[in-house]
Structure 1
Amino acid sequence: MWGVHQRMAELWNIQSNQRKLTKEEMSELKICLDANMIKCRKVATLKNLSLVASMTEDNEWQHDICSAIEKLYEDFH
């Protein structure tokens, strides 16, 4: 699991089950959410580019894009 997701889950658990988050923890949660959004946006962009590569039958480009997607997902293991 990506470290950002682990910390986001910890902070959510604190907020949901224990107490309100401190200002510092809220700031940290926002940083985690921003990082998650950036990674999701990158994956979505690459998937859209992969579709374009497929539609234009550019197999080499599509292979490069798929490799980039796999590299992004490596962080989750």
Structure 2
Amino acid sequence: MWIVHQWMAELWFINKTRELTDSEMTEMSHCMSANAQRAWEIAKLKNVFLIVSMTNNTDWQHDLCSRIEKIEELKKE
């Protein structure tokens, strides 16, 4: 699980028992922004991959796969 997801989960559980402080709300916002940016980047690369796969450009496909894997590996840290 990506550290950002762990921190978002912790903040979410804290918020179940009390209101988040201003700094915690800011951190939640940063986490959500980072998550959205990563999700958007993966979705964009997968869409490009679909188009590239229709052109049989295997070099570009391998490059896209590598880029997607690198982004997804960061989730495991």
TM exceeds 0.5? yes
Structure 1 residue 76 displacement after superposition: 1.9
Deviations 1:14-49 (A, max 9, x none): 012x10101110011000000000000100010011
CA distance in 2, matches of 1:76, 1:37: 13
Residue 13 of structure 2: aligned partner: 13
Consecutive unaligned residues in structure 2, runs of 5 or more: none
Distance 2:44 2:50 in 1: 10
Distance (whole Å) between structure 2 residues aligned to residue 22 and residue 71 of structure 1: 34
CA distance in 2, matches of 1:37, 1:19: 25
Q: Tell me how many residue pairs correspond in the alignment.
A: 76
| Separation of aligned partners in 2, 1:66 and 1:52 | 13
| Mapping of residues 44-63 of structure 1, within 5 Å | 44-63=43-62
Q: Please, which runs of 5 or more residues in structure 1 have no aligned partner? A: none
- Runs of 4+ more than 6 Å apart: none
Give, in angstroms, the shift of residue 75 of structure 1.
1.1
User: Whole-Å Cα distance in 2 between the matches of residues 3 and 31 of structure 1?
Assistant: 12
Shift of 1:8: 0.4
Task: Give me the CA root mean square deviation.
Answer: 0.7
Mapped partners of 1:13, 1:75: distance in 2 = 23
